[in-house]
Amino acid sequence: GMIFADSLSRLGTESAFTILARAQKLASEGRDIINLGIGQPDFQTPDHIVEAGIKALRDGHHGYTPANGLPALREAVTADLHRRHGVEVNPDNVVVVPGGKPTMFFAVLMFGQPGTEIMYPNPGFPIYESVIRYSGAKPVPIALKEENDFAFSAEEVLAQITPATRLIIINSPANPTGGVTPREEIDKLVAGLADHPHVALMSDEIYSNMLYGGREHVSLLQYPEIRDRLIMLDGWSKTYAMTGWRLGYAVWPDAAVDHVTRLCINDHSCVNAATQYAGIAALNGPQQPVYDMVAEFDKRREVIVRELNALQGVTCTDAAGAFYAFPNITGTGMTSAEAQNLFLDEAGVATVAGTSFGEWGEGYVRFSYANSTENILEAIARIRKLL
């Protein structure tokens, strides 16, 4: 039979998709399933953005675009970065790709190979570790701990740098913990990196619009001293409820732009043209739909954190960003996987085991609150009965 490459056995996956499939199967068998498993807004893409995509198709935008994205889209990105983070970015450093994931794949392939090390948050977005292993590099986990509200410790990150380190991946606000790393810690990381000029940094800021309790997003773009080795990833999926459109971007350092553009040309040529026009409308149009969605998430966050803390054996930090709560369930006597399976099979509530985000997620379960308050209350009531 066929003989696959060894590298395939090192490629991981994202369990949230497996849980979604299981939940959908149970629902199709007539079970009443509440889905708190999936990492996407439960809102529709705002109308004016949808209309811009339709108009682009009707106007005949059916061909290839530049591989790095339409100039007008890359300019809209830089205007947005100026508005939100107060930074100047050259549109030539922006590379548009189909979603958030391609940037992490390309960045890891650009730096990772056998003999190198790449650091990544654990628990963290599972694709980081997966693609690091795929590249042949050694994955070096950055522990995110509940006692630090799931922020990373700059000291611990810096202490793990070796001559083999090529890339450090950070993510704030974070999936799956909802943790937000405070500015002081980021200041310390950037200051410490001055001693390690061979190390690049990828800052995954896909949840940069989703912070609560008066917190402000700290973008790594605000540190000019590391611009020459910073990859800042963001996109439309979460902010504009556009996960299925497949649109994301990163700001790349000068020395990496040609490399990533060649990766794009080899991989996908360019992002779907109509999607790019929709992306222009999203950034240049009214932002009120974003503010309304975030305000709604904030209300649900208060509800879910309060209700989770009221469950016996469960404690939950206040989840400062993104749209996830990451309760500690060790007091229930269950492992993460046991809790996830029990919640789905017995209560019809889909969640994701903390261990799906790395071994240090043991003892936790991720609840996405991208669902109505009514469904969140019903889900927790069902779990309360179980426990």
Which residues are near ligand PLP by CB under 6 A?
A: 39, 99-101, 125, 171, 175, 204, 206, 235, 237, 243, 248
Of residues 184, 190, 213, the one with CA closest to residue 319: 213
Q: In angstroms, give the least distance from the CB of 369 to ligand PLP.
A: 14
Q: 18 is written with which tokens?
A: 């497996």
Contacts from 28-33 at CB under 8 Å and sequence distance 24+?
A: 31/348, 32/348, 33/344, 33/348, 33/349, 33/350
Residue closer to ligand PLP by CB (options 171, 317) is 171
Residue closer to ligand PLP by CB (options 102, 327) is 102
Residue closer to ligand PLP by CB (options 203, 332) is 203
DSSP three-state, residue 173: coil
Q: In angstroms, give the least distance from the CB of 184 to ligand PLP.
A: 22
CA–CA distance, 78 with 84 (Å, rounded to integer)? 10
> Distance of alpha carbon 52 from its chain centroid, rounded?
26
> Distance of alpha carbon 86 from its chain centroid, rounded?
22
Residue closer to ligand PLP by CB (options 110, 370) is 370
Tally Cβ neighbours within 10 Å of residue 259: 14
Q: In angstroms, give the least distance from the CB of 104 to ligand PLP.
A: 7
C-alpha dihedral sign at 140, 145, 148, 151: positive
Given a contact cutoff of 8 angstroms between Cβ atoms, the answer to whether 22 and 37 are in contact is no
Residue closer to ligand PLP by CB (options 38, 311) is 38
Q: In angstroms, give the least distance from the CB of 347 to ligand PLP.
A: 24
Q: In angstroms, give the least distance from the CB of 310 to ligand PLP.
A: 27
Q: In angstroms, give the least distance from the CB of 121 to ligand PLP.
A: 9
CA–CA distance, 170 with 153 (Å, rounded to integer)? 11
CA–CA distance, 182 with 221 (Å, rounded to integer)? 15
Residue closer to ligand PLP by CB (options 150, 311) is 150
Q: How many CA atoms lie within 13 A of 326 on its CB side?
A: 32
Given a contact cutoff of 8 angstroms between Cβ atoms, the answer to whether 247 and 98 are in contact is yes
Burial environment of residue 83 by CB neighbours within 10 A (0 to 12, 13 to 18, 19 or more): exposed
Residue closer to ligand PLP by CB (options 209, 332) is 209
Q: In angstroms, give the least distance from the CB of 197 to ligand PLP.
A: 26
Q: In angstroms, give the least distance from the CB of 271 to ligand PLP.
A: 11
Residue closer to ligand PLP by CB (options 85, 101) is 101
